[in-house]
Structure 1
Amino acid sequence: MTADTAHTFQTYSVTTHPSQGVTNVAALRAQFAGLGIDGFIVPHEDEHQNEYLPDANERLAWVSGFTGSAGAALILKDKAILFADGRYTLQSREQTDPSVFEVVDFTATAIAEQIASQPRGSVIGFDPRLHSPAALKALQQAATRVGLNLKAVDPNPIDLAWGAARPAQPMTPVVPQPLQFAGVASGDKRAKLAESLRQKGVAAALITAPSSIAWLFNVRGGDVIRSPLPLAQALLKADGTAELFLEPAKVTEGLGEWLGNEVALKTPTDIPAALTALSGQGILVDPNWSSAWWVEAIEGAGASAVAGDDPCLIPRACKNAAEIAGTTEAHIRDGAILSEFLYWVATEAQTALPSEIEVAQKLESLRIASGLVKDLSFDTISGFGPHGALPHYRVTEQSNIRIKPGNLLLVDSGGQYVDGTTDVTRTIAIGTPNAEHKRMFTLVLKGHIALATIRFPAGTTGTHLDVLARQFLWNAGFDYDHGTGHGVGVYLGVHEGPQRIAKALNAYALQPGMIVSNEPGFYKAGDFGIRIENLQYITDAAPIAGGERPMLGFKNLTWAPIDRSLIEVSLLTEAERRYIDDYHAEVLRLLSPRVKPEVADWLTTACAPL
């Protein structure tokens, strides 16, 4: 049994009502006087710190019109600022009213800097349910430095202004995730994590991250688009029992039996009493993934909030054998679909010259036709030419252009399957690539190969490995401004922590079973973009002939041809050529039996040795 998510797939229209910024910002400001505030912080995140949100929690989109998956706004009495990062340069300006909103780059300190620029004595409101303690601390420090006050407000003034027009909260059924895919029974997971709670000296852990709840109880839902997640909370006790707080409408027949006698199924209204029952004891809460409101609720119930990592964080990231087997199969299945798509781009699309939207729709239609995909894992990035130079470009009806010979098409996409989550990027030449295209593609490819083939000792973090993917670009005087790799779940979120490969410091060591992306890139503003992305998982430490220490490594998950016409073979070493030839031989072996005969014939050519 799997979650019937009934998600809609990608849309390309952009709601750009010129009056939205004026009308909704004015409606929000009308709430300020009653709450005693001079401004209000609007994060993108919701009560569950989600990246992708149900419609009812799209507060940032309601007030600004901006629908990107990351951003924030600061609404003041006489000024409105939208913070959007480089992924959404075009979209943020398309979707906001320039007469109302100033668009500012969303850096780590951008909101704090804007708060600090307000007049001394100003009162800036915030909803503690929408900010993690870690994020809120930085804002409070900035306000204190300049004599401002941050004020927690309840109810949220956006919810008041939105009123009856606000969509209802999702009530998607929560269903079991079969043990054949989960790999480890929930009771065994809870028993292992309970031991860690006892070692920390706490009575329980408050779990609020939807992905942790889905993983811990071996369930899936559909409350969050692009991710099969249930919105819920849980208390995991130090004796291995648990309380799961679900809206009754989400409880499906047989769910209680699936959860077992050690899990008490309760409603969200039961949470205060459950916290009070732990009065005088310590409750672990993650300051990065739980909202500040929960810390207040714990302390208000007479318990002690103990800051620490969500106990599910590392165990969830380190996939078990069944999860690795499932995601391996999902990636082969998805690779066959992607090969059908790449065949279409290499043949029909080269003469029909479709638009960016038509490209994305073609790939989406192939995934849907499989009858196995539950949802996209994120909105497809289909960027041609200059749009490919925007690393996380999202095509809309307003920005849509047609492909044409002489430039590159970048397509980044993925699917949610009951046994795995995929994320893959291919850059494809339309017509004949020029020498610059080939040189830069090959420099990116060399970095991709270096990261795919490295062996490394236990204790290594993604920060240590990031330079491997950048070295050839650096030596030529180039770089890219996004991370090299993010964690990925198994029929969970396409972006999963704590592992990451990036310049930014990351304290979490890479461990066996963790899945990470390998996606170096190059972006020439206004001209073209290149990214090559596969997913890979970390293997157990093994000895190397003649070496002294066992070393971890990566095993590839993603199988799809890499455009050979873009490879400048003279820039590759013999080992790099051998890697590409071996990779393509495996693509051919795995995918040929799963595709149409004409696609299998094309694969033979696309995967020929260099």
Structure 2
Amino acid sequence: MTYIEKLQALRDLMTAQNIDAYIIPAADPHISEYLPAHYKAIPFASGFTGSAGTLVITQNFAGLWTDSRYFSQAETQLKGTGYELVKLIVPHTPEYIDWLPGVLSKGATVSFNHQLITVALAIDIKNKLEQQEIAVKDVDFISTVWTDRVGLPAEQAYLINEEAAGLSISAKIEQVRAVLAQNGAEYHLISSLDDVAWLFNLRGKDVDYNPVALAFALITPEEVKLFIDEQKLSQSDKEILKEQGVNLYPYQDVAGALTQLPEYTRIFIDPKRTSFGLYQLLPKEAKIISGINPSTYLKGLKNQTEISHIRKAMLQDGVALTRFFKWLEDHLGKEKITEWSAAEKLATYRAEQASFVGLSFNTISGYNANGALPHYTVTAESDQEITGDGLFLVDSGGQYHYGTTDITRVMPVGNCTARQADDYTLVLKGLIEGSKLIFPTGTKGYQIDSICRNPLWEHAINFGHGTGHGIGFFLNVHEGPQSINPANLDIPFKPGMVTSIEPGIYRPEKHGVRIENLVLCVPHGSSEFGDFLAFETLTLCFIDTTLINKSLLTPDQLTWLNQYNQQVFDQLQPLLSTEESEWLKAKCYPI
């Protein structure tokens, strides 16, 4: 079927059931950011492959609501599909909720699959639409139209041992139970895959780039239930789970378990990471205690074992990156290198590392104009040769048994312009200002965000994405609870949090610059004014200095840069060949 035919098929089903608008979110029952193929409904229906977006279909209009990261991509991919791009004004907001009452009459019906929308969002939709006398209905039309849909993933899952995780499963369960008790909760439903993975020291391959397995968890006063396809686990892992106080149940049985809960139970759920469909199965008399999953907070604070392992992952990643950039410099102009082949070569160097498991996300490999697309995905059609003059941006990361990495670097190719040099230097200033920051306990991400953006704001420049996100320990490359962005998120930074710092400048159809490191929040000391924190940079890859406009850097910023590059050389040099070491030494030479 063509996309036009699929759209018509959906509209025919809407007509048959008197549905006036149908919402298709980018989600699965676990409210995941990255989806198993079975749940990639938006690519199936519209051809759009970005990781964030929502389709809304009426009989007269079909639109994709997405944010500025994907505007160019969406405009290209939606051509001839029957869908139009609707540009979000505020990223990550459901602006279609306010749009629907303007195009629907009173008495209309809006539908969506309740298993694929969060509790918080579904309640927001219902409240706003029902005020306008528009009904909301639970419908799944995608399953009817998607006749060749792939099944649920059945990849093997496994447990990582306590020596790698730093805590046993039972110890983590005790930590979660303690938080539940503080909140007056008896039960706790966990749907988010990374939270389940952390709690049970469980890893899998059900989702590209994220080492997670499809599973739900339910903590009760009597037991801990893990809902998972048992065939994914080895017999020894099943025995370990049992020894740690975990009982296994079939994946599909989570719905029945919720319907059988005691009537007046007190249950803790995360309304932003739990589907409305599961929420509706809870007893009507149940007391719902809402908040961020306790495991999300606990997972965000890396223990000393995890931190030690993360440092090992950074060493391996740094070696791979050094070899890649040396190869790139040695071969540019001598053989044809494209965005695609460069990304493949980088993946090869990572795969040579002993503890490498896979990539942590789809590599962003963009030259000149393609680098101006923050979430660019190279395809056979868009692939450009890296030749001539310009900037090559590569945002990439790896999953290692020791941890997860995420890094962005920009390399000059040929001769670059003064504007490119200035943009590069201003972005570097933003990275440095965030990285060397010393701040009091209680500081939130939005406060740090403004400090990182200030060097750009001084030149009337801004960027449309967040400045930083949390990073998992051999888990999702994006995790909470902390972030560095303009949103007024009431989450203070604490020691043990690993976060990216990644300011950028994007000039459409010209070039893009983003420089990204991962940092660890650490104690800095105390004074009569309280306790203070700082960031320790974990990423180990040189920052190219050939494009820097030194006049834009302060002495403190220049000192930070030179010290950082020296640290990179000192730590990576013992792991490199003599030739590689000499090359890296030149790249790290102070300026």
Q: Could you say whether these structures have the same fold, taking a TM-score greater than 0.5 normalized by the shorter chain as the test?
A: yes
> How far did 1:591 drift?
1.1
Decide which moves more: 573-582 or 454-463: 573-582
How far did residue 99 of structure 1 move? 5.1
SS of 2:506's partner is: strand
Contact 1:520/1:531 (8 A) holds in 2: yes
The 1-side partners of 2:194 and 2:96 are apart by: 27
2:273 alignment partner, one of 259, 283, 289: 289
1:309 paired with 2:309, answer no
SS at match of 1:359: helix
Match of 2:18 among 36, 41, 53: 36
Q: Which residue, 566, 569, 574 being the options, matches 2:555? A: 574
Match of 1:243 among 225, 232, 240: 225
**Secondary structure at 1:582's aligned position in 2?**
helix
Aligned counterparts of 1:84 and 1:350: Cα–Cα separation in 2: 38
Moved more, 344-353 or 100-109: 344-353
- Aligned residue for 1:483? 466
2:451 to 441, 444, 468: 468
- By how many angstroms is 1:187 displaced? 0.6
Residue type at the aligned position of 2:46: S
Mapped to 2, the partners of 1:409 and 1:130 lie a distance apart of 37
1:299 aligns with 2:268: no
Q: CA deviation at 1:256?
A: 2.0
Q: In structure 2, which of residues 120, 128, 143 is the aligned counterpart of residue 159 of structure 1?
A: 143
Which residue in 2 is equivalent to 1:123?
Answer: 109
Q: Hey, what's the Cα distance between the residues in 1 that align with 2:104 and 2:176?
A: 48
Q: 2:130 aligns with which of 120, 130, 144?
A: 144
The CA distance in 2 between the partners of 1:593 and 1:420, in whole Å, is: 21
8 Å contact from structure 1 (residues 125, 150) kept in 2 = yes
Aligned to 2:78: 96
> Displacement, 1:274?
3.1
TM-score by length of 1: 0.92
Counterpart CA distance in 2 for 1:69 and 1:523 is 20
Q: 1:367-411: CA deviations, max 9, x gaps?
A: 123353222111111111111111111111111222223211111
2-structure distance, mates of 1:412, 1:181 = 27
For 1:91 and 1:371, the matched residues in 2 are separated by 36
Contact between 1:194 and 1:238, CA under 8 Å: does it hold in 2?
Answer: no
Higher relative contact order (CA 8 A, sep 6+): 1
Q: Is the 8 A contact 1:433 1:565 kept in 2?
A: no
d(CA) in 2 for partners of 1:145 and 1:278? 32
User: What is the match of residue 593 of structure 1?
Assistant: 574
Query: 2:264: which partner in 1?
Result: 280
CA separation in 1, counterparts of 2:333 and 2:124? 51
CA distance in structure 2 between the aligned counterparts of 1:438 and 1:385, rounded to whole angstroms: 13
Query: For residues 594 and 550 of structure 1, what CA distance do their matches in structure 2 show?
Result: 37
Instruction: Letter of the 1:565 partner, please give it.
Output: T
SS of structure 1 residue aligned to 2:438: coil
Write the deviation string for residues 181-236 of structure 1: whole angstroms up to 9, x where unpaired.
Answer: 21111111111221221222221110111001000011111111110011111112
Q: Which residue of 2 aligns with 1:549?
A: 530
Q: How does 1:375-414 map to 2 (within 5 A)?
A: 375-414=358-397
For structure 1, which runs of at least 5 residues remain unmatched after alignment? 1-18
Are the equivalent residues in 2 in contact too, given 1:563–1:606 (CA < 8 A)?
A: yes
2-structure distance, mates of 1:111, 1:47:
21
For 1:357 and 1:442, locate their aligned partners in 2 and report how far apart those are by CA, in whole Å: 27
Residue in 2 aligned with 1:459?
442
In the alignment of these two chains, the number of paired residues is 585
Corresponding residue for residue 510 of structure 2: 527
Tell me whether 1:178 sits opposite 2:164 in the alignment: no
> Residue 398 of structure 2 corresponds to which residue in structure 1?
415
Query: Gaps spanning 5+ residues in structure 2: where?
Result: none
Q: Is residue 543 of structure 2 the alignment partner of residue 559 of structure 1?
A: no
**Counterpart of 2:6 in 1: which secondary structure?**
helix
Identity of aligned residues (%): 34
Task: Report the Cα distance in structure 1 between the residues aligned to 2:256 and 2:403, rounded to whole angstroms.
Answer: 37
CA contact (8 A) 1:298 1:305 kept: no
Instruction: Classify 1:101/1:273 alpha carbon distance in 2 versus 1 (closer, same or farther; 3 Å).
Output: closer
Bigger mean CA offset, 331-340 vs 29-38? 29-38
Q: 1:353 to 1:573 in 2, by over 3 A?
A: farther
Give the superposed CA RMSD: 1.8
Give yes or no for the alignment of 1:602 onto 2:578.
no
| SS of alignment partner, residue 566 of structure 1 | coil
Q: State the match for 2:121 in structure 1.
A: 135
Q: Distance in 2 between matches of 1:593 and 1:350?
A: 30
Stretch deviating more after TM superposition (174-183 or 273-282):
273-282
Letter in 1 for 2:136: L
The answer to whether the 8 A contact 1:73-1:82 is kept is: yes
Structure 2: how far apart are the matches of 1:152 and 1:119? 18
Partner Cα distance (1:591, 1:214) in 2? 31
SS at match of 1:529: strand
Moved beyond 6 Å, runs of 4+: none
